[in-house]
Structure 1
């Protein structure tokens, strides 16, 4: 039986990216306007709201957007080189594809991120974040740049343009913290591809599994969010093009699509529902906490999913994303759902959404809920005994204003993302292409000879052009 259609059709990747951008938006809306959605209940011994229940809470509680982007980075970066090397049998073309992709990756991330940071800087100079600095949402205040004199602001901008890629710090757009690990992660994929090219299939699979295992047993920060997700993406990119694997899945399609994939998704979804805080406020989350972090009851070790010393929130979210990715890989039905043209459109605009949504939320969104002026505001001083007074923050105007803010913010975000893709991203793509054409040689064009001469590999002939080799004669490699 022939391989499944998904061996050639990976539209679901773009659809998953689009769905993830929506999840990022709803997560940050809940952080800004309804933070208790991150808990299993508003208070202890109080019945939970509908959106605080397991499974239903996953989109609002966060922690899943960036790991999905990491998984997709691993998949997309590996897909074309794997296809060239092992489907078409053209290893040199595969290596060249890796080289060009590695060259394009930094400017395609850095240039748009710099422009987004500069836009936020301009808004900061005009006091657009005053309401965000004074509102009662701690998360919004933390994410908003504090006021500064103009030249201090300029100096801070220059610093942030650098530290975004050195320490992930960017006070103008803290959502860019993921840019650096995603960029580094892409190069992790490139290194693995080059190191394993030419290996037999089973040994390449072994390498991918060992890389995933390495990152999962590593309890340092974010190893499960980036390292493991990137390696999983590379592994599934290979399997999605491996004909025997696809033929096997096709011959057992009903079992995998309607039994195995849903079961994996249900298990992963329950684990991924682990709350950000106050896990003891609901029986289900308390049982889950004990099972994952202290299965034998003596605090001596964690579990396979959450090793002792690791971040339980990120580990549970990573487990959910791994289960989701495997389920999508096994189920043509899920792939078809994710291939809907609306999701593909959202996926095409996902990077732009990621760059613009935070700035719009902290300005227009917060203006609607708290007012543009950020007043009345009185900075806390000292009591008569010298102790610090408790700061009184601006309170939201009410639920109708929050609902209006969600609608306006969503409409503005996707309008801005459309404009960004039409003008800003297009300009960045052209700049990157120009630079790539300048740096790389086109072996089929006349410029290839010039490039060889520039490096000393082709010697000019004083009496005319360099002689061409005879048919079948190969030029000698450079010394």
Structure 2
């Protein structure tokens, strides 16, 4: 008997589709996988602070652009018109240079972290639900180490493997030569740099990925934030706001910029909750039209928020060097207050980056156009993979930037036959084909290299987000649930006597 071919409705086709999904989907960028396998696509919804996720995502991309530029096209980093020997490019102009100004983005991260970590417990406090507040604080405190350190431990272990197998050249002359030496070096970096919170806001420059210097700072100030919220959870609103504002000023007076930024996030989170409650009260009352008029009259404040954002973007263009020669920036440098003015050469910019980040994060939420952009699909996608981008971009640059960008042509130097003689080098890669002899060539090479390396970084970050970041977050939740004590307290444990 002849057997008929299976129809598309046969069970084998769903099985094949499921097999291809399991095989290909983890390897594809999520937005590509969602198009190829729409039935498995995950939907994402917005929440009241979604714009902060989008802002964090764009900031992480700028950090990647920053390190890509500083390591490969350092001629673009000075302020416009500063270098008299080399013509400046348009990308070095104020406001445009924000695209590779990564240092102020770190301060934006910290303000957003303070805001987001405070939002749920503050909402619970205003709902008079202290049990929920304490539960949220306990859960956040328990899982914070897993959230921050887990992905970094995995990524640096991968970098350790790449170093030891020669895929990345170690520039350290005392680099380990055996697996045992490499492991102990990695262990030291994990314990004494990446997970080391005792230096507060110092740059520990961790081995295997110096860009992870912010992680211990993020952790220790998260703990400080939780402690402050717990301390003030039972006090009256005005007292709580006054104490937080006073602590912000105290941190600045002590030169503790990161603590100021986290506490500023807490302060603005409470204002945001108050504004939401007020808006609901007006909308549910008979005075809805009056509220609309009041809201319209507040449009005048938009000019103030626009001015704040514009000033913050200008300050964000603070150059790494020669700030004292940069117009505009020189004014802020000269007016840096103590102790930041005398701490170290980077302290003045940290003060102004922190101050501008605080006001910019708040003003962006008050400007519908900017808020809408950061709630858009592009910014929200960047927000979802932001931590993975921050972790992955350094190793990806080490792996591919030299191979992609190459070297430019170099003429012979010295006289042939002498020790000083250096033969001519034929250029290769992006720099070799496009050149870096003038500003136009440098900018073009920068842009072309970014279009090649950028998708590679995003792809790697997307895979890392799904393969490492999300599972580590889930692991933290599962461990927390496994460790919870759900037993009913006995009278004896509560200190009650069984004898009347």
Superposition TM-score tier, normalisation by shorter sequence: 0.7 to 0.9
1:10-29 to 2 correspondences below 5 Å: 10-29=49-68
Helix, strand or coil at the partner of 1:39? coil
Work out whether 1:195 is the aligned partner of 2:224: no
Q: 1:145 to 1:315 in 2, by over 3 A?
A: farther
Contact 1:236 1:329 in 2 (8 A): no
Q: Which residue of 2 aligns with 1:64?
A: 104
Structure 1 residue 106 displacement after superposition: 0.6
Structure 1 residue 68 displacement after superposition: 1.3
Contact 2:120 2:133 in 1 (8 A): yes
Work out whether 1:254 is the aligned partner of 2:299: yes
Q: Which residue of 1 aligns with 2:399?
A: 363
Q: Could you tell me the TM-score, scaled by structure 1's length?
A: 0.76
- Between the aligned partners of 2:148 and 2:461, the Cα distance in structure 1 is 15
1:433-472 to 2 correspondences below 5 Å: 433-442=477-486, 448-449=487-488, 452=489, 457=490
Helix, strand or coil at the partner of 1:64? helix
- Between the aligned partners of 1:152 and 1:396, the Cα distance in structure 2 is 36
1:325 corresponds to which of 317, 340, 361: 361
Deviation digits for residues 103-156 of structure 1, max 9, x if unmatched?
0101111111100010000000111222xx5xxxxxxx68x9956333221211
**Which stretch of the first structure deviates more once superposed, 349-358 or 55-64?**
55-64
1:192-271 to 2 correspondences below 5 Å: 192-219=228-255, 223-224=256-257, 226-243=258-275, 250=295, 252-257=297-302, 259-271=303-315
Q: 1:256 to 1:477 in 2, by over 3 A?
A: farther
Q: Could you tell me the TM-score, scaled by structure 2's length?
A: 0.73
Contact 1:82 1:94 in 2 (8 A): yes
1:40 corresponds to which of 79, 83, 95: 79
Q: Which residue of 2 aligns with 1:278?
A: 322
Work out whether 1:165 is the aligned partner of 2:195: yes
- Between the aligned partners of 2:395 and 2:165, the Cα distance in structure 1 is 14
Q: Which residue of 1 aligns with 2:470?
A: 426
Structure 1 residue 309 displacement after superposition: 3.6
Structure 1 residue 253 displacement after superposition: 3.0
Contact 1:84 1:90 in 2 (8 A): yes
Contact 2:51 2:374 in 1 (8 A): yes
Structure 1 residue 267 displacement after superposition: 2.4
Contact 2:114 2:263 in 1 (8 A): yes
Structure 1 residue 81 displacement after superposition: 0.4
Q: 1:393 to 1:458 in 2, by over 3 A?
A: farther
Deviation digits for residues 383-436 of structure 1, max 9, x if unmatched?
99xxxxx9x999875534765542332112211222122222232123212210
Q: 1:293 to 1:22 in 2, by over 3 A?
A: closer
Contact 1:370 1:394 in 2 (8 A): no
2:115 corresponds to which of 75, 85, 90: 75
Structure 1 residue 192 displacement after superposition: 0.9
Q: Which residue of 2 aligns with 1:472?
A: none
Q: Which residue of 2 aligns with 1:409?
A: 453
In structure 1, list runs of 5 or more residues that go unmatched.
Answer: 1-6, 134-140, 296-301, 372-382, 385-389, 443-447, 460-474
Helix, strand or coil at the partner of 1:44? coil
In structure 2, list runs of 5 or more residues that go unmatched.
Answer: 1-45, 283-290, 408-417, 435-444
Q: Which residue of 1 aligns with 2:40?
A: none
Q: Which residue of 1 aligns with 2:412?
A: none
Q: 1:54 to 1:82 in 2, by over 3 A?
A: same
Deviation digits for residues 272-291 of structure 1, max 9, x if unmatched?
32221123555x15xx32x3
Q: How many residue pairs are counted as aligned between the two chains?
A: 406
Q: CA RMSD for the aligned pairs?
A: 3.3
Contact 2:333 2:349 in 1 (8 A): no
Helix, strand or coil at the partner of 1:189? helix
